[in-house]
Amino acid sequence: MRKVFIADAHLRNPDDENYRTLARFLSELHGTAETLFILGDLFEFWIGYRPALFPHYLPILEQLRRLSDAGTRIVYFEGNHDFHMGVHFSEAVGATVFPGPAVLNLDGRKCFLCHGDEINSRDYGSRLLRFLLHNRATKAIFPLVPPSAVFRLAGHMSRRSKGNHAKRNAKWDYRHLLHAFAEERFREQCDAVISAHFHLPLLATRNRGKTRTLLSLGDWITQYSYGELREGNFFLHKYR
């Protein structure tokens, strides 16, 4: 059975088109997907509070729970909009959560999986933000802060990130960054690199004695793209 990879939906409101489309996509995975890998930023913002504090996410959490109960394994990699997801999220949907990159054996291939916000080593602002949000001190402090204050900060960060999106796209060659990063992992004997974050759908495969694959997932905001691993081969699809 196939393995499916999605990322970067940045879900906000159940009435949004991308929210409704992703919910429909998840409902169609029942009985057809062995594993669903979510490579971060499924939500516009999530920090490790109980799901009840995110009522706008409950419909998608229910979809994931049903998928998990039907036998699909769910594996979540934290992004730069969702972090310290911890036991509350894991128990809510029956997921395995990775706070950072991991190397997994998938269909006999050594695969490096990550959200991707650490790929651009020269984007010092993003790297600093990740350090501040993902470190242990933040994890210890945030339960002491009223959720309303955290959500206001999240809204500010989200608006600022969107405002800088065009500027970052003009400044950085994401395609080059992804290929360079993948080559480093290939030299470490990885067979495939699967990443997200850049909202760039890309599938590149080469054969130099051994097949190497770079899969960048795109997003579920306007592109509705997803990856698939079936019988040892990677594919990149658009849902619509």
| pLDDT for the residue numbered 50 | 77
Mean pLDDT of the chain: 88
State pLDDT tens for residues 206-229: 987 789 999 999 999 999 999 999
CATH H-level, domain 2-238: superfamily: Metallo-dependent phosphatases (3.60.21.10)
pLDDT at 169: 61
- The mean per-residue pLDDT over the stretch 158-166 comes to 60
When pLDDT is averaged across residues 78-105 and rounded to a whole number, the result is: 91
Rounded mean pLDDT, 234-238: 98
What digits encode the pLDDT tens for the residues 61-70?
A: 999 999 999 9
Helices (H), 28-123: 58-69, 86-93
pLDDT, position 88: 83
DSSP, res 217: E
Please check the confidence at residue 162 and state whether its pLDDT lies above 90: no
Identify the CA nearest to 119 among candidates 232, 200, 196: 196
Measured on CA atoms in the order 160, 166, 167, 169, is the torsion positive or negative? positive
Residue 161 pLDDT: 62
Q: Is 224 left (phi over 0), alpha (psi -120 to 50) or beta?
A: left
This prediction has a pTM of 0.90
Six-digit token string for 178: 């992804």
The pLDDT tens digits for 164-181 are 555 666 667 899 999 999
**Domain residue extents for the chain:** 2-238
Output the pLDDT for position 131. 73
Report which DSSP code applies to 26: H
User: Residue 61 is encoded by which pair of tokens?
Assistant: 């959490």
Instruction: Render pLDDT for 117-157 as a digit per residue (tens, 0 to 9).
Output: 999 888 777 777 777 777 777 777 766 667 676 667 666 66
Q: Which tokens belong to 84?
A: 């310290």
**Where do runs of H (alpha helix) occur along the chain?**
17-27, 58-69, 86-93, 124-134, 136-141, 147-163, 165-171, 174-187
